[in-house]
Amino acid sequence: MNLACEGISVRFGRADPVLGHPEPVSLEFAEKDFTAIIGPNGSGKSTLLRTLSRLQKPTTGRVLLGGSPLAKIKPKEIARKLALVPQSPPVPHDMTVTDLVAHGRHPHRGVSEHLLGRDREIVENAIERCDLKTFAERRVATLSGGEKQRAWIAAALAQEPRVLLLDEPTSALDIRHQLEVMDLLRSLNEHDHITIGIVVHDINLAARVCSRIVALKSGQIVADGTPEAVITPDLLRLVFNVETEISPDPVMGTPTCRFLSPIACAVE
C-alpha cells in the first residue's frame, strides 16, 4: 500500500510553516518502499511523519493512504493499515510485553477486551518475529532500550499494517541494537512487503538498510533518491553544513561517509 502527501505545509501559530515553506511539500512512499528521512534538527522530519500518520493536521494540502484522502478515512480503519512507532513513547509501569503487543490488536477487535484465537496467534507471532519470546511476561519498564524498541515494533506489527512509520527508533540504542532493529525492519520490508518510512540520524545506517533516502532542510525536500544518489559530499554539505568523504562499504557496497569538519556558518 502506498502513502503520499500532496502540497502539504504545517504552521504552528503565526510563524512561518515548519514544513512546506516557501513551497509546499509533496512526497510518495510507493508500495514496498523502504525510505529513510534524514536532515538536521528542526528540518521538519518528525512533523512530516506526524502529518503522514494523522497526528498532525496539515495547514494546506492532503495526505493519501492507498489513494484515499486520510481525512476521510475512519481512525480505526487507518490503524488497520498504518502504524506509527513514535520517539520514546510512555508505557504504564505494570504493562507486560504481551499486554503492549496485544494493544496493537485493538483496531481489529470488537467489543470484547479478550484476545480471541486469531488475535492471540498474531500477538504471539509478532513477539516471536521481534525476538521477544523470553521477555513476553516481563514488564516493558524493565527492558533495555533495544528490547523496548522491539516491543513497540511488535505492537505495531500486531496491527497488521501495510505501512509502518518510525520516528528515530535507533536514537537511544548502542551499535549492536541499532543494527538489530534496522535488520528487523529490513526483514519486514523484504519478506512481509510492508512499506516503511523511518526518520533516522545515522546516515551510514540508513544507507546500509534503506533503498531510498529523502533529505530535508528547513522544511523543504532537497534530495530524493537512492543512497548512492543522495549521500554525496555536495548534498551533505548543503544539508548538514559539514565536509565529508564518501567511500563504498567494503562488505555492503553502500556509500559510507566519514565526517571531516563542520563548515563555519556566516553570521548575519
CATH number of the domain to which 35 belongs: 3.40.50.300
**pLDDT value of position 204:** 94
Residue 110 lies in a domain: yes
Claim to verify: residue 258 and residue 171 sit in the same structural domain: yes
54-57-59-65 Cα dihedral, nearest 10 degrees:
20
Question: Structural domain tally of the chain?
Answer: 2
Claim to verify: residue 171 and residue 236 sit in the same structural domain: yes
Claim to verify: residue 180 and residue 227 sit in the same structural domain: yes
Claim to verify: residue 113 and residue 204 sit in the same structural domain: no
pLDDT at residue 116 is higher than 90: no
- Structural contact between residues 182 and 208, judged by C-beta atoms closer than 8 angstroms: yes
Residue 216 lies in a domain: yes
pLDDT above 90: percentage of residues in the chain: 77
Claim to verify: residue 230 and residue 171 sit in the same structural domain: yes
Q: Quick one: cell of 143?
A: 527492558
**pLDDT value of position 239:** 96
Claim to verify: residue 179 and residue 151 sit in the same structural domain: no
Claim to verify: residue 119 and residue 182 sit in the same structural domain: no
Residue 126 lies in a domain: yes
Claim to verify: residue 23 and residue 141 sit in the same structural domain: no
DSSP summary character for residue 263:
P
pLDDT at residue 265 is higher than 90: no
What's the rounded Cα separation, in Å, for the pair 215 and 237?
A: 12
Which of the listed residues 116, 133, 157 is the one where a domain comes to its end?
Answer: 157
Claim to verify: residue 170 and residue 257 sit in the same structural domain: yes
Q: 49-58, 218-227, 229-238, 258-267 — which is least confidently predicted? A: 258-267
**pLDDT value of position 267:** 42
Residue 87 lies in a domain: no
Look up the domain containing 26 and give its range.
3-81+161-262
Residue 88 lies in a domain: no
Mean pLDDT over the full length of the chain: 91
Which of the listed residues 139, 157, 175 is the one where a domain comes to its end?
Answer: 157
Q: 111-115, 178-182, 250-254 — which is least confidently predicted? A: 111-115
pLDDT band at 172 (very low <50, low <70, confident <90, very high): confident
Residue 227 lies in a domain: yes
Claim to verify: residue 121 and residue 190 sit in the same structural domain: no
Question: In this predicted model, what pLDDT tens digit does every residue of 117-151 receive, in sequence order?
Answer: 889 999 999 999 999 999 999 999 999 888 999 99
Claim to verify: residue 69 and residue 137 sit in the same structural domain: no
pLDDT band at 89 (very low <50, low <70, confident <90, very high): confident
Claim to verify: residue 254 and residue 210 sit in the same structural domain: yes
Nearest residue to 49 (alpha-carbon basis) of 166, 212, 155, 157: 166
**pLDDT value of position 87:** 84
Q: DSSP readout, 6-28?
A: EEEEB--TTSPPSBS-SS-EEEE
pLDDT band at 264 (very low <50, low <70, confident <90, very high): low
Residue 18 lies in a domain: yes
